[in-house]
């Protein structure tokens, strides 16, 4: 049975990332530090070989795809965009921590919307739709390995919802320019709507591709 690999990566740094600002739907490019960091990672580490690249429509993700996979066909998938933080967009974390509306939202369930924005549940459903679309194309075209360039919040929500082993959302953080390899089979997808989170990427020098989690009972 064919095993499919989706290598899901977070985009590089923006100036807002460096300033500690909440940026979701705001369309910012990579900053110079972000571009330099990605180029340094590409030079030092090994990113997986892929047949095709899918990216969020936001500039920071598309620019990351161009830097890491300049010679691969790239398709923009609108559902891969980051959460719309509404009234919280562009504000720094230390400022938001003093805002009662922000504290209330953080303590609320996934169904709670940001004021003027989206909810975590809406983001999760978009992420699931995006992966279903991408995996459908992989099965139809018999493509075994793709890269997905997206955003930190989407990665955390998606892996918490569908990843094995099951972990809390905060345990699936991804640093800029880094991410995870997801393993999918048609049987697992059709039966459980799940995938295995296999390893972290990119691979450091001399690092062997190994499972991220080891079953100690084996």
pLDDT along the chain (218 residues), means of 10: 93 96 96 97 96 98 98 97 96 93 89 92 96 97 97 96 94 97 94 94 76 44
Select from 194, 167, 196, 170 the least CA-distant residue to 181.
196
**Phi–psi pair at 9, nearest 5 degrees:** -130, 145
Confidence at residue 216, expressed as pLDDT on a 0 to 100 scale: 33
Confidence at residue 38, expressed as pLDDT on a 0 to 100 scale: 98
Confidence at residue 4, expressed as pLDDT on a 0 to 100 scale: 97
Confidence at residue 109, expressed as pLDDT on a 0 to 100 scale: 84
Local structure of residue 25 (DSSP, 8 states): S
Element (H, E) at 118: none
Confidence at residue 2, expressed as pLDDT on a 0 to 100 scale: 86
User: Are the C-beta atoms of 37 and 9 separated by less than 8 Å?
Assistant: no
Domain 4-85+119-201, CATH among 3.40.50.1240, 3.40.50.300, 3.30.930.10, 3.30.300.30: 3.40.50.1240
- Strands in 52-55's sheet, in edge-to-edge order, are 74-76, 52-55, 145-150, 4-10, 179-184, 195-201, 163-164
Confidence at residue 110, expressed as pLDDT on a 0 to 100 scale: 82
- The end-to-end CA distance of the chain, in Å, is 23
Confidence at residue 211, expressed as pLDDT on a 0 to 100 scale: 60
Select from 138, 146, 193, 152 the least CA-distant residue to 2.
138
SS (H, E, C) 185-204: CHHHHHHHCCEEEEEEECEC
CA-CA distance, 171 to 140, in Å (whole number)?
Answer: 32
């Amino acid at each position: 049975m064919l095993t499919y690999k989706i290598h899901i990566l977070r985009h590089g740094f923006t100036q807002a990332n460096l300033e500690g600002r909440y940026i979701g739907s705001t369309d910012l490019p990579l900053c110079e530090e972000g571009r330099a960091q990605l180029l340094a990672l590409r030079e030092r580490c090994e990113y997986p070989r892929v047949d095709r690249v899918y990216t969020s429509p936001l500039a920071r993700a598309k620019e990351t795809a161009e830097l890491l996979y300049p010679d691969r066909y790239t398709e923009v998938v609108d559902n891969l965009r980051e959460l719309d933080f509404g009234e919280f967009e562009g504000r720094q974390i230390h400022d938001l921590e003093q805002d009662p509306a922000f504290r209330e939202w953080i303590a609320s369930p996934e169904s709670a919307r940001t004021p003027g924005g989206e909810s975590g549940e809406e983001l999760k459903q978009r992420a699931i739709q995006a992966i279903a679309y991408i995996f459908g194309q992989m099965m139809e075209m018999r493509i075994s390995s793709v890269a997905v360039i997206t955003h930190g919040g989407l990665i955390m929500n998606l892996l918490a919802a569908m990843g094995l082993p099951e972990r809390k959302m905060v345990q699936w953080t991804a640093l800029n320019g880094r991410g995870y390899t997801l393993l999918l089979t048609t049987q697992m997808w059709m039966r459980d709507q799940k995938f295995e989170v296999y390893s972290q990427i990119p691979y450091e020098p001399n690092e062997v591709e190994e499972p991220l989690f080891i079953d100690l009972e084996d």
